[in-house]
Amino acid sequence: MQANFRKNYYGYLFIAPFIIGFLIFGLYPVYDTVYLSFTDTTIMSPNSAQWVGLKNFERLFADDFFMRAVRNTWLIWLLNFIPQIGVALLVSVWFTSTRLKIKGVGVWRTLFYMPNLLMPASVAALFFALFSFYGPINQFMVKSGFLPEAMHYLQNTTVTRGLVVFIQWWMWFGQTVIIVMAGMTAISTSLYEAAMVDGASAWQMFSRITMPLLKPILIYIFVTSLVGGMQMFDIPYMLTDGRGSPAYSIMTNNILMYSKFSSSKGHIGAASSVGVLVFIMTTVIALGIFYFLRDRDSQ
Amino acid sequence: MLNPLNNYTLKTNFQRFFVYLFLVVILVISIIPIWLLLVNATRSTPEIQQGLAFFPSTHLMDNYRILRSKGLNLWLGFGNSTFISLATTVLTVYFSMLTAYGIAVYDFPGKKPFYNFIVVLVLLPLQLSIIGFYHYMSKLGLTDNYASLILPAIASAAGVFFAKQYLDSMIIKDLIDAGRIDGASEIGIFHKIMLPIAAPGAFTLGIFSFVASWNNFFNAFILITSLDKYTLPMMVKTLRGDVYRTEYGAIYLGLAITIIPIVIFYALFSRYIISGIAMGSVKE
Amino acid sequence: MLRKFYIVLSLVLIASFALAACGPTATEAPVAEETEAPVAEETEAPAVDAGPKVLNVWSFTNEIRTMAIAYEGKNPDVDVIYTMIPMTDGEYQTKVKAAVGTADAPDVVALEAAFVKEWVESDLLMDLNELLPYTEELQTYPAVVEVGTNDGVSKAFSYQATPGAYFYRRSIATECLGTDDPAEVQAMVADIDKFVETAAKIHDCGTGDYFAVGTAGAMFNPFLANRAQPWIVDDTLVFDPMVNEYVDFAKMMRENGYESQAGQWSEGWFAGMNDTLVDANGTPKKIFSYFLPTWGLPYVLIPNSTSDNTDTGGDWAMINGPLAYQWGGTWVGVLDTAPNAELAKDFVRFVALDEENLTNWATGVYTNDYLKAIDPETPDDQQQPSGDFVSSQVVVEKIASSFDDSDLAKWLGGQNSYTAFAKAAPSVNGKLMTGSDDAIQRALQSALEQYLNDEVTKEEMWPIWLDSVRNEFPDLVIPELPADFME
């Protein structure tokens, strides 16, 4: 017993590399970002930085630019998340249905998931090529009579935003299907059998049994997707000119941050202030949802 | 009179038809962009300009020649990405397992809060501190250096979270005690007993960290400056730019080269990947 | 036991740090095709000590690599390490900035016209005034020197002068305008109003399948070159009337169908050069003319004038067009931190201010074989075609007549482009260039594109542009828009 107790202190040695790594590569950068956000540091003159207090933050709210990025990011995320979770629930119910007995569930699922593994940079470049003015989609649309003449898809704010939403949905719904299905198969079939005996309809079973028991999984999906969505960069960056064109319709938080980083003088102080605000916003919402909903659940 | 059972199966069949139809539609949507990419990689630029096609043509080698002739060395990026991804994967898997094992096996004071902290870390948008990370790395002289991309893998919260989930279902206290009686050191037990048993989980974790690192564009884009250190996603950006402009066949082929390895990889290991996703999330 | 493990672990950590850390010192290998090894530490290390003097050169195209190889030919003890980073969406600019002050910083940087001023105005470049005597000797065009100079200190020089020109298709001119004679066509496009009339003729004569120019943005540089003031004066943004005129002009071109909607550098824009432009229906379209400067001829127009089945060579002519302008150009400067300043300066001298090099550069001496003889690892497509217009009047006068019967002249239906550019070059001025042009103009073009496509109105377009400018230059004063910009 005594020996075991002493052995427990070995745990610290096992977790020590993680803690050291985290302090160096995780915590310090966060501290540095916060620090930079109160200075006017630029890449061009890294050593003449001045403490400017809240000026960077005041400038973010001085015009609509920053809020536009925040709104865009939320909009793009919500518009892809809702159909993503909707389609995933629907498909998962079918796949796990003992009545429908869908064949080849594993194969379907495997194929649906594949886009998730593709390099986002390549996916965006692919869609850029497909939707360019002299590109294949225009040829198809005009030759088959859907459009009277070729259009500049990536100059149209609605189409461009829609494409980003679509690509995000396309890349992520397969993963959501897998997670939701795993949650559904974990629900004991005896619950459904009992409900069937009581004459419950499919919808009743779904809303009274599946959904409540799936709640932790859904929260997990929601929160991880939100955190990822708030940091969206690759697809909107590579799809147009890297600054969220047309008309900043796909300028996300991270694109704004990067554009300040890559501006002519390289305003990394201002870029940090974007990072800090989005970090706070995302963290408060993500952890808030996580703990609020979890606590109620366990009561 | 209709037999209620018949009615039931009729309805089921009817429903089933629509379910399959819906699945096929989604499948087509999922696969068609990838298929078009692969087909266009084999078509010449004039062919591509003439319209859509769903079957490969014969210009694969021509496209490859054009791709190579413009000074962009995709294979260099391929090698760079492979090196970074492998190194990241090794560090992630080893240190995540190590940390998770420490949490799972030892009852040290502060273990609970530490694990909760890791769970919180998984949910934090830490990529948003990239500017500070960049600034700090440039002070250390580590920008344009793979170390800045690889070493953070030592502290992968998501990796620890996954490894902990996995080890919880694996660890047999008796084996550890038996090892101790045999005189093995604590770390020896981890290396010689636990790691071999946990190999499937480690492999799954490895796949995820490899793919994540392979596809990572943002961090490398900010941290790496010289062209001979460019990773594959960064080269895709070049491919999209002015250098290749009208050479559509070559562009598609270049894009295909960036994704084919992952598609093959997936064909081989999809079982691990899919069970891994489910495992990483389903608990509670 | 555990201690031993920790020793091993720390060794691994140190080793991985060291392995990764020795990366930059051994930065070798431009994107040479041959470089297969991704982690080239061990193999490349010898270059560092003893042996050759190493010079790190960064650029955004492969042009200067040709000169780098030629320089190695002249100085066998020098090893020039050449790095090319594409300029797409400002990637090159960001990368160079990010490298400044780090161990990976280059010695010599190439700077494009759009951002050279930003660097010349900063403290990051070395004072190169000691090279000024060479500019007198070579009679470098004053504008070229002026662009590279700030407060009396010259920090960058260029091997090019870049007056603009107007290139058109002779066959279309004969068909639609009744003549292909350069002097007569020049009279038809002598000013903006006449240009528009001619554009209408081209459009009508091709019944909509002929376009006067490839893109509504074709005259961006000509218009902006005729502003009265630079973009920024006293930290305040200037709304020059020319900007507004340009916007209206571009919109008019789009609405009347005088341009093919193929943006500059897009695939359709290039396709027009070799007559392979087709619309989404498969109908062939033709582009009558292109606004391009000196370098546009050897680097853009000629290489793109052939396709698998078409060749428009010989069907082109060159005139001044409606507005005098200049466009682009590459300057080279030395970073203040360069450890081997003398070598770097000598390299700049060679690139921009060496009579023999400039002559070789312009007359096609630097063939692939020539370069391969110096460095066998030269990529197969690395070479310098003849015809680039150089910055030295002495060289220009000496070689201009040699182009009378050249392939270049044949390509232009017998015209000697060099003589024509030589006439235009002295009128070029660099006074309008500021360090902020690049960002301001990119943002304007992006907003204008929206307006052209009817995605936004003109009133909505200006704020889109100005938001972007404000985001880029937080300290810039942006005054109210003049009332006539809203009309």
Smallest Cα–Cα separation from C224: which of C468, C429, C422? C429
HSE toward the beta carbon, residue A138, CA cutoff 13 A: 21
Exposure string over C413-433, b if 16+ CB within 10 A, otherwise e: eebbbbebbbebbeebebebb
Is the pLDDT reported for residue C161 higher than 60?
A: yes
pLDDT of residue A87: 94
Residues in A touching C456 (Cβ below 8 Å): 247
Chains adjacent to C (≥3 CB pairs closer than 8 angstroms): A, B
- Nearest by CB to residue C9, choosing from A17, A64, A155, is A17
3-state secondary structure chain B: CCCHHHHHHHHHHHHHHHHHHHHHHHHHHHHHHHHHHHHHCCCCHHHHHHCCCCCCCCCHHHHHHHHHHCCCCHHHHHHHHHHHHHHHHHHHHHHHHHHHHHHHHCCCCCHHHHHHHHHHHHHCCHHHHHHHHHHHHHHCCCCCCCHHHHHHHHHCHHHHHHHHHHHHCCCCHHHHHHHHHCCCCHHHHHHHHHHHHCHHHHHHHHHHHHHHHHHCCHHHHHHCCCHHHCCHHHHHHHHHCCCCCCCHHHHHHHHHHHHHHHHHHHHHHHHHHHHHHHHHHCCC
Nearest neighbour of A63 by CB, restricted to C2, C94, C467: C467
Chains linked to B by 3 or more Cβ pairs within 8 Å? A, C
Q: Thinking of the domain C26-161+328-402, which architecture would CATH place it in?
A: 3-Layer(aba) Sandwich (3.40)
Strands, sheet with C316-319, edge to edge from the N-terminal-most edge strand: C210-213, C286-293, C164-169, C316-319
**Which chain C residue's Cα is nearest to B72?**
C31
pLDDT at residue number C41: 38
Q: Is the pLDDT assigned to residue C67 strictly greater than 60?
A: yes
Q: What's the pLDDT band for C345 if we cut at 50, 70, 90?
A: very high
The answer as to whether B277 is a domain residue is: yes
**Which residues of chain B lie closer than 8 angstroms to A13, CB-CB?**
102, 186
d(CA B188, CA B194): 9
Domain range enclosing B96: 68-281
B24 domain-assigned: no
We report the CATH number of the domain holding residue B169 as: 1.10.3720.10
CA–chain centroid gap for A297, Å, is: 25
Phi and psi angles of residue A48, each rounded to the nearest 5 degrees, phi first: -110, 30
Partners of residue A270 in chain C, C-beta under 8 Å? 474
**Nearest chain C Cα distance for residue A91, angstroms:** 37
Where are the strands (E) in C320-453, listed by range? 330-334
Of these ranges, A9-13, B64-68, B237-241, C156-160, the one predicted with the greatest mean pLDDT is C156-160
Helix (H, G, I), strand (E, B) or coil at C132: helix
B249 found inside a domain = yes
User: What are the pLDDT digits (tens) for C105-142?
Assistant: 899 999 998 889 989 988 889 999 999 999 999 999 99
A281 φ, ψ (degrees, to nearest 5): -60, -50
What pLDDT is attached to residue C304? 87
Per-residue pLDDT, averaged over C288-304, amounts to 90
Separation between Cα atoms, residue C331 and residue C117, nearest integer Å:
10
Domain assignment of residue B202, yes or no: yes
Those residues whose C-beta lies under 8 Å from the C-beta of residue C182, and which sit 6 or more positions away, are C317, C318, C319, C415
Q: Is the predicted pLDDT of residue B133 greater than 90, yes or no?
A: yes
Q: Looking at chain B from residue 2 to 61, which residues have their Cβ under 8 Å from any Cβ of chain A? A: 12, 15-16, 19-20, 22-23, 26-27, 29-31, 33-34, 36-37, 40, 48-52
d(CA A246, CA A223) in angstroms, rounded, equals 29
- The pLDDT mean for chain B works out to 86
- Is the bond preceding residue B113 a cis peptide, omega within 30 degrees? no
Cα angle C175, C178, C184; round to 5: 125
How many angstroms away from the CA of B238 is the closest CA of chain C? 7
E strand spans, A21-77: none
Of A63, A143, A247, the CB nearest to C455: A247
Does a structural domain hold residue B43?
A: no
Query: What confidence tens digit (pLDDT) does each residue in A155-172 have?
Result: 888 999 999 999 999 999
Residue type, C318: M
Asked whether the beta carbons of A46 and A266 are under 8 A apart, the reply is no
Q: Is C167 helix (H, G, I), strand (E, B) or coil?
A: strand
pLDDT at position C411 is 92
Question: Which one is predicted more confidently, A7 or C329?
Answer: C329
What's the residue count for chain A? 299
For chain A, domains (ranges, CATH) are: 63-298 (1.10.3720.10)
C71-108 pLDDT tens trace: 999 999 999 999 888 887 778 888 888 888 777 789 99
- Across the interface, whether the CB atoms of C24 and B241 are under 8 A apart is answered no
Residue C1 has pLDDT above 80, yes or no: no
Nearest 5°: CA angle at C298, between C294 and C299? 95
Q: Answer whether C275 touches B (CB < 8 Å).
A: no
Q: Structural domain boundaries of chain C?
A: 26-161+328-402, 164-326+405-486
3-state secondary structure of C477: strand
Query: In angstroms, rounded to a whole number, what is the distance separating the alpha carbons of residues C90 and B241?
Result: 11
Name the token pair of B274. Answer: 């899919």
Task: Answer yes or no: is pLDDT of A60 > 50.
Answer: yes
Q: How much is the ipTM here? A: 0.88
| Residue position matching structure tokens 């500049």 | A152
Task: Please give the Cα distance from C466 to C485 (Å, whole number).
Answer: 13
C164-326+405-486: same fold as C26-161+328-402?
A: yes
Q: Which of B186, B194, B226 has the most C C-beta neighbours within 10 Å, making it the best mutation to test the interface with C?
A: B226
Helices B111-123 and B157-168: crossing angle in degrees, nearest 10, is 130
Q: What pLDDT score was predicted for residue B262? A: 87
Question: Residue C45: is its pLDDT beyond 50?
Answer: no
Q: Which class for B227: exposed (0-12), middle (13-18), buried (19 or more C-beta within 10 A)?
A: buried
Mean pLDDT calculated for residue range A96-114: 87
Cα separation, C253 vs C271, in Å, equals 20
Q: How close, in Å, is residue B259 to chain A by CA atoms?
A: 6
The string of DSSP letters for A145-157 reads TSSSS---GGG-H
pLDDT in tens, B169-181: 877 788 888 888 8
Q: Is the pLDDT of residue C301 over 60?
A: yes
B50 lies in some domain: no
C17 has pLDDT over 60: no
Q: Assess if residue B165 is contained within a domain.
A: yes
The kind and range of the H/E element at C166 are: strand C164-169
How many domains is chain B built from? 1
Tell me which amino acid residue A126 is: L
A279 closest CB neighbour out of B103, B125, B282:
B125
Residue C332 predicted with pLDDT over 90: yes
Give the integer Cα–Cα distance in Å for B282 and C150: 64
The CATH homologous superfamily for domain C164-326+405-486 is Periplasmic binding protein-like II (3.40.190.10)
Strands C78-84 and C153-154, sheet pairing? unpaired
At B138 the pLDDT is: 84
Taking only the tens place, the pLDDT of each residue in A162-218 is 999 999 999 999 989 998 988 888 888 888 888 888 888 888 888 888 888 888 888
pLDDT at A7: 77
Q: What is the pLDDT of residue A193?
A: 86
The answer to whether residue B273 sits within a structural domain is yes
Q: Which of C60, A250, A125, C12 is nearest to B254 (CA)?
A: A125
> Given this model, what pLDDT does residue A76 score?
96
Residue bearing the bigger pLDDT, C215 or A265: C215
